[in-house]
Structure 1
């Protein structure tokens, strides 16, 4: 097991981020679903409850990825290859699990807590002593950290964006120590891959991919602020439902086309 805690700050309050995150995930999922069979299908999205965390939402998604794999990988895997995401959202605490349809010994577990601070909490996810001893802390800066690929998109440069609705931004050097409001997403990520000889390489690769996802997703939530700021939770849930129906239809159409060919 490879365990890391990512701390990602945003120039928002925890309640604002709740809306921005839901908007970003819904829009990003829609943009990633092109109708070729690849994309994100929402299978379940319903209320749930927990004795400790109270009322929340349970979501299950299938992320179809086959055509994005290198050719040599595609020759070894089923034509319809997907990752299953199961998420329990008891905001401000969430838990997410990822499993793979092709690799049964692969599992990613993520526990997240959101707090109104700049990443200063020592143990926001309440890890036990054993987990604390294994933990590596990684501070992710949405303004200055780059994707591992080196890819750059000026439209998502937080050092050049200023919100017309809130006046927040651009984010300058040292912004996490000077910006108000500010909140932090504390994400404890555990990666399990029990295949001898490949475990360390695959787990390291997964953490690199997760870090990229955190950078890109949090950049988008900030850059798209003027589109979601002012929405209520009811507004963003309606937006989420509408996009889920559209993306599900595109994914199903693409899968049916693959099976018929």
Structure 2
């Protein structure tokens, strides 16, 4: 759900307007292979923390894809062709700011998320049935041990010239209410890997005892509806770094939970989590983050 909040924070409300959001660079104290496990584990755990009282994550599909089974509409970056396909529905009535909720009937506050995870590359597309073809948010992620790539997503020169880069630093302080006890990377030490604590502020440029990798994020949004552009674009800047920071701070501080797991372990966890999410969404109380309006 935190990932969904990040997507929503990038919407741009203008007729025919296409926005390439600031490119996120998430520098992490993991190897690329470790991050594949860590990210899937963190998504499963965070989804449960954000689900309850009617809202949250509903998993419809989670299976392999190739050029014949659930193929993407257009080729993936660098010729990636196989991986894991997921289709999720996000029920978000309680998560949205009031001015966004005002646009949607309560029965239609759901978003479809379809992803083709051909790790180390992943493409995710978010849509809303109420807006039909008027809304699409595309998120592309490339994961690399090289943290200095200037054009990881092979942008054409015109878009590359307009691109802004945001570094997501998990060693900076989280806002009040955005952190839980034991989830501060500048205090956490992994018993299994002996990594941490991270030095404060751009930790990767200081002395540390960790491997280093980068998750390069590219978000492209199209929302063909008039109005609200300025207010939502302000929300983009406020929310983007916040949400990525929260998730990846947790991911690192959960190292001893996911370290040593295999992909088979992760698939079993995802199967169990699917049922738990359905139970929580239907029966438990509301929980999790809401996008800030100010």
Q: 1:193 aligns with which of 223, 238, 249?
A: 223
Q: CA offset at residue 72 of structure 1?
A: 7.2
Which ranges in structure 1 are unaligned for 5 or more consecutive residues? 255-261
Correspondence 1:157 to 2:184: yes
Correspondence 1:128 to 2:146: no
Change beyond 3 A, Cα 1:210–1:46: farther
Q: CA offset at residue 212 of structure 1?
A: 2.1
Q: 1:93 aligns with which of 121, 142, 149?
A: 121
| Alpha-carbon distance in 2 for matches of 1:185, 1:72 | 32
| Alpha-carbon distance in 1 for matches of 2:92, 2:188 | 32
- Which moves more between the two structures, 19-28 or 183-192? 183-192
Which ranges in structure 2 are unaligned for 5 or more consecutive residues? 1-17, 68-74, 285-294
Q: 1:228 aligns with which of 241, 247, 258?
A: 258
Match of 1:30 in 2: 48
Change beyond 3 A, Cα 1:11–1:70: closer
Match of 1:259 in 2: none
Correspondence 1:48 to 2:65: yes
Match of 2:33 in 1: 15
User: Within 5 A, what are the aligned runs for 1:34-113?
Assistant: 34=52, 36-50=53-67, 52-69=79-96, 77-80=104-107, 81-104=109-132, 105-113=134-142
Change beyond 3 A, Cα 1:152–1:236: closer
Q: CA offset at residue 152 of structure 1?
A: 4.3
Cα RMSD of the aligned pairs, angstroms, is: 2.3
Correspondence 1:238 to 2:268: yes
| Alpha-carbon distance in 2 for matches of 1:74, 1:182 | 40
| Alpha-carbon distance in 2 for matches of 1:43, 1:211 | 29
TM-score (norm 1): 0.87
Change beyond 3 A, Cα 1:16–1:47: same
Q: CA offset at residue 218 of structure 1?
A: 0.7
Aligned residue pairs: how many? 251
| Alpha-carbon distance in 1 for matches of 2:218, 2:101 | 31
| Residues 193 and 202 in structure 1, CA contact (< 8 A), matched pair in contact too | no
| Alpha-carbon distance in 2 for matches of 1:202, 1:111 | 21
Question: SS in structure 2 opposite 1:67?
Answer: coil
